[in-house]
Amino acid sequence: MYTLGEIAEITGAELDGDPGQKIKRLSSLASARAGELSFLANKRYVRYLKSTRAYAVILSAKDRHHCPVQTLVCDDPYLAFARALRHMEPDSDFISGIHPSAVIDRQCEIDSSCYIGANSVIGSGSKIAGRAYVGPGCVIGRGVSVGEKTALIANVTLCDGVKIGRNGLLHPGVVIGADGFGIVNDHGEWLKIPQIGSVSIADDVEIGANTTVDRGALEDTVIENGVKLDNQVQIGHGVRVGAHTAIAGCVGIAGSAVIGRRCMIGGQSAVSGHIEIADDVIITGMSGVSNSIKEAGVYSSGIPVTTNAKWRKNIARFRNLDEIARRLFKLERRSGDENGPE
């Protein structure tokens, strides 16, 4: 349990209230009760502010005068909320040990402070560093390296030669290092191209459930420091994802694409292979990226939802767009001829 004064210090927020007030937990504006702390970071939830039962609310300066309870004022309420939550909800105690049902090759190097869960399999030559957590049902191939304090929650597969850095978090069902989609047409039949690279993942990377990162065809697929991948993301062979980039769910990135640092890619977007995206690029959801993006900025290509009737009309007009453009060009040229010098 923390006091408001301690939370203000943790978050860097300005407290307007009793610094000795004890806070049990954090909750949403609508469901918060006495003894709880909440936050307001999205204008859609302003309607809950006046009726909240929270003891205090983290919010921005523009909203403080509408709040009936104690406030913690800061520039980024969501960031402050995250910092408070990390302190108030600590990780569960780590217990080392190896479950008797785990199958571990004799030539592995496993630090004594690790945890290896039930029915996990670890292949020859793999190294598991101190305080790493390998949950139940994980499969680790040959020559794999897992860094300190990295957690494989459950049913994670790391194929041969994969390297995972420190403080990683891989959620259930993640597959790292499966073959990339490398095929070539040989007179009407598909010939598989051997995928002889691997995957190199740096420190502080989080990978969501059922996400896949393919091994490289020749060189490694690379995920740099601090990258965050949501659930069901597909990273193709030979891709490089720059440091501190965040990629939302159901994004697909085709082989050999290079994604810059500090990028954000919205859900269900698709990135073509062999293109480059600059640092600090934001791609909104359901966008298709078929060409390189060379400058930082916000890019979109998805069609926002509308009524079905309007959508049908727009699609019908879109089909005739080329013809309309040609007719307009002819009219402009004719008009120019008529109004031009004699």
Residue 15's CATH number: 3.40.1390.10
Per-state percent for the chain, helix, strand, coil, to nearest 5: 20, 30, 55
Q: What is the DSSP letter of 293?
A: B
Q: Which positions ≥6 away from 113 have C-beta within 8 Å?
A: 96, 130, 131
- Assess whether 70 and 199 both reside in one domain: no
Q: Which positions ≥6 away from 141 have C-beta within 8 Å?
A: 123, 126, 158, 159, 160, 161, 162, 177
Question: Does residue 304 belong to any structural domain of this protein?
Answer: no
Which structural domain, as residue segments, surrounds residue 26?
2-88
pLDDT at site 341: 55
CB-CB contact of 263 with 257 (8 Å):
no
- Assess whether 129 and 250 both reside in one domain: yes
- Assess whether 158 and 22 both reside in one domain: no
Question: Does residue 163 belong to any structural domain of this protein?
Answer: yes
Of the three residues 37, 53, 88, the one that is the final residue of a domain is 88
Of the three residues 40, 55, 88, the one that is the final residue of a domain is 88
Respond yes or no: is residue 66 known to be catalytic.
no
- Assess whether 66 and 126 both reside in one domain: no
Question: Does residue 27 belong to any structural domain of this protein?
Answer: yes
CB-CB contact of 199 with 223 (8 Å):
yes
- Assess whether 108 and 46 both reside in one domain: no
- Assess whether 199 and 254 both reside in one domain: yes
Residue 11's CB is within 10 A of a number of other CB atoms, namely 22
Rg (CA), the chain: 26
- Assess whether 62 and 203 both reside in one domain: no
Q: Which of 76, 75, 72 is nearest to 38 (CA)?
A: 72
pLDDT at site 302: 84
pLDDT at site 337: 65
- Assess whether 114 and 243 both reside in one domain: yes
| The model's pTM | 0.90
pLDDT at site 336: 72
pLDDT at site 275: 98
- Assess whether 57 and 173 both reside in one domain: no
Name the pairing type of β-strands 25-26 and 103-104: unpaired
Q: Which of 175, 242, 236 is nearest to 202 (CA)?
A: 242
Annotated catalytic residue, options 87, 237, 244, 274 = 237
- Assess whether 49 and 161 both reside in one domain: no
- Assess whether 153 and 199 both reside in one domain: yes
- Assess whether 191 and 271 both reside in one domain: yes
Question: Does residue 181 belong to any structural domain of this protein?
Answer: yes
Helices within the chain (DSSP H only): 4-11, 77-88, 308-319, 321-339
pLDDT at site 93: 77
CATH number at residue 214: 2.160.10.10
Mean pLDDT for back-to-back runs of 10 residues, the chain (342 residues): 95 97 94 95 93 96 94 97 89 88 97 98 98 98 98 98 98 98 96 97 98 97 98 98 98 98 98 98 97 98 91 91 91 75 52
| Structural domain count of the chain | 3
Of the three residues 88, 116, 143, the one that is the final residue of a domain is 88
pLDDT at site 338: 63
Question: Does residue 177 belong to any structural domain of this protein?
Answer: yes
